[in-house]
Amino acid sequence: MKSKFGVAIIGVGAIAKAHILAYEQFPEECSVLALCDIYPDKARALADEMDLKADIYNDYAELLKRQDIDIVSICLPPNLHAEVSIAAMEAKKHVLVEKPMAPSLAECDAMIAASEKNRVILSPIAQNRFRTPMMRLKTLLDDGIGGKVLHATVNSLWWRGQNYYDLWWRGTWEKECGGCTTSHAVHQLDLLQWMVGMPQEVTAVMRNVGHDNSECEDLAIGVLAYPEMLAQVTASIVAHDEGQQIIFQTEQARLSSPWKVAASKPLENGFPVDDESMALSVDAAYESLPSVTYERHAGQIHNVFSAIRGEEPLLIDGVQGRNTIELIMAIYKASVEKRTVALPIDKNDPLYTREGLVSSMPRFHEKKRSVENFATTDITLGKDADS
Q: Are strands 341-342 and 201-207 parallel, antiparallel or unpaired?
A: antiparallel
CA distance 237 to 228: 30
The whole-number pLDDT of residue 243 equals: 87
Give the percent of the chain with pLDDT over 70.
96
> 177-215, pLDDT tens digit by residue?
899 999 999 999 999 999 999 999 999 999 999 999 999
Distances (CA, A) of 77 to 74, 99, 168, 216, 261: 9, 9, 10, 15, 39
Give the alpha-carbon dihedral of 144, 145, 150, 154, to 10 degrees: -110
Q: Which helix (H) or strand (E) holds 229?
A: none
The whole-number pLDDT of residue 64 equals: 97
Distances (CA, A) of 234 to 127, 280, 327: 20, 30, 13
- Mapped onto helix, strand or coil, the DSSP state of residue 126 is coil
Is the per-residue pLDDT at 384 higher than 90? no
> 226-265, pLDDT tens digit by residue?
999 999 999 999 999 998 999 999 999 999 999 999 999 9
Is the per-residue pLDDT at 386 higher than 60? no
Fold of 5-126+295-315: Rossmann fold (3.40.50)
Report the predicted TM-score, pTM, of the whole model to 2 decimal places.
0.93
CA distance 36 to 10: 5
Phi and psi angles of residue 85, each rounded to the nearest 5 degrees, phi first: -60, -45
Is the per-residue pLDDT at 387 higher than 50? no
Q: In angstroms, what is the C-alpha Rg of the chain?
A: 21
Beta-ladder partners of 159 = 238
Banded pLDDT at 100 (limits 50, 70, 90): very high
Residues of CATH 3.40.50.720 domain(s) within the chain?
5-126+295-315
SS3 content of the chain, % helix, strand, coil (to 5): 35, 20, 45
Distances (CA, A) of 341 to 175, 180, 208, 265, 358: 25, 20, 21, 36, 19
| Average pLDDT, integer, range 281-295 | 97
Is the per-residue pLDDT at 281 higher than 60? yes
Superfamily of domain 129-292+322-360: Dihydrodipicolinate Reductase; domain 2 (3.30.360.10)
Is the per-residue pLDDT at 318 higher than 90? yes
Is the per-residue pLDDT at 112 higher than 60? yes
Residues of CATH 3.30.360.10 domain(s) within the chain?
129-292+322-360
